[in-house]
């Protein structure tokens, strides 16, 4: 019987990096989804599509010079809020969707400020995780 040597294969630095990008994205996805659906009032389908775009952007963003993948997580939330705001403003602006007070209020806020609030949730999450 042949024995595979796959177990001995050490993943390349690039594989480790890609894995880390996916891991951080997956860890943040719950919060992203809540931001898109609950706060920015996107439909489930719209949110899923936007999340795909966000992943493509975030992966490339992590290859830019600068911070580590994990340190880039707050920027993922900024991008999420910016994407969602841009999209909802367009949809509301074309008259396809009506806006209510709650939506108007969040669209009026700067995406970076909204993301900052969400980041606090992340910090809380990290705190709980390290506590555990």
Helix (H) or strand (E) holding 39, with range, is none
CA distance 130 to 93: 44
Min. distance of Cβ 32 from another protein in angstroms?
A: 14
CA 75-130-20 angle, 5° bins: 45
3-state secondary structure of 75: helix
Whole-number Cα distances in Å, 101 to 38, 63, 85: 14, 39, 15
One residue of 48, 63, 110, 124 binding another protein per CB under 8 A: 63
Min. distance of Cβ 90 from another protein in angstroms?
A: 5
9 contacts another protein (rule: CB under 8 A):
no
Nearer to another protein, 7 or 56 (CB): 56
Interface residues with another protein (CB under 8 A) are 14, 49, 52-53, 56-57, 60-61, 63-68, 72, 75, 78-79, 82-83, 87, 90-91, 94, 96-98
């Amino acid at each position: 019987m042949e024995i595979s040597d796959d177990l001995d294969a050490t993943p390349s630095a690039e594989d480790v990096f890609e894995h880390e990008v996916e891991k951080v994205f997956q860890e943040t996805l719950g919060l992203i989804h809540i931001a898109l659906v609950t706060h920015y009032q996107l439909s489930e389908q719209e949110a899923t599509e936007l999340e795909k775009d966000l992943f493509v952007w975030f992966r490339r963003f992590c290859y830019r010079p600068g911070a580590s993948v994990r340190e880039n997580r707050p920027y993922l939330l900024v991008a999420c809020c910016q994407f969602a705001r841009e999209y909802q403003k367009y949809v509301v602006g074309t008259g396809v969707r009506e806006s209510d007070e709650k939506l108007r209020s969040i669209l009026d806020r700067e995406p970076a400020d909204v993301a900052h609030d969400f980041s606090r949730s992340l910090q809380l999450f990290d705190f709980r995780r390290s506590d555990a």
